[in-house]
Chains A and B, each alone.
Chain A
Amino acid sequence: GNSVTQMEGPVTLSEEAFLTINCTYTATGYPSLFWYVQYPGEGLQLLLKATKADDKGSNKGFEATYRKETTSFHLEKGSVQVSDSAVYFCALSEGRGSTLGRLYFGRGTQLTVWP
């Protein structure tokens, strides 16, 4: 079956530090991969996505590369800001058969950035 495993938090960093949040997945087919972010008091929103192997998704200084050989989609940012403090969710979608219409989410990683 499909599943997503992401590193457990919380992650605490100082401003301008480098961020990596690990995400690995299990899928029966060829999924699309996503990172969603939930800022305090807001709903989840799409941060970036990649739809096929070796694709790189990027947005707001965040990047993630779809690695089929390691079944990974790690989230990185070179220099985090206080405003990046949020919960980050890795997710996959296969979009076929019984999995149509559903996203499989990891448990979320809480990031706190201190000034």
Chain B
Amino acid sequence: EAGVTQSPTHLIKTRGQQATLRCSPISGHTSVYWYQQALGLGLQFLLWYDEGEERNRGNFPPRFSGRQFPNYSSELNVNALELEDSALYLCASSLGTLTGELFFGEGSRLTVL
């Protein structure tokens, strides 16, 4: 069974540009979560999607947005990139309501120059 897959693995952008990151959850999982792992800051919750709807978001500005498609895959968009957006972006999925067991992908590393 395939795990959570993310693309691209690495992405380099310049300030002011937009970045789009993609995630495919484990087959059968309806919830997708996005986390930011910036250097020295641990994992910060970004967004939670379930059944195509945004269910919760963390303390991030509106230029961080996303969506979930009918096949439960998800996209994270970051507009007007800033240098501090450089981080590893992790996607996770779970089966139904969060019980704490998230299945994580390996992440997409975004570098903003």
User: Which residues in A have some Cβ–Cβ distance to B below 8 Å?
Assistant: 32, 34, 36, 41-46, 49, 51, 89, 91, 93, 95, 98, 100-108
Contacts and interface: CB of A to CB of B under 8 A. Distances in A.
Contact of A46 (B45, B50, B102): B102
Contact of B100 (A44, A98, A103): A103
Nearest to A51: B100
B4 to A, nearest CB: 7
A108 B4 CA distance: 21
A105 B56 contact: no
B33 to A, nearest CB: 7
B46 to A, nearest CB: 9
7 contacts: A43-B105, A45-B104, A89-B43, A101-B31, A101-B33, A106-B42, A107-B40
A101 B42 contact: no
A107 B101 contact: no
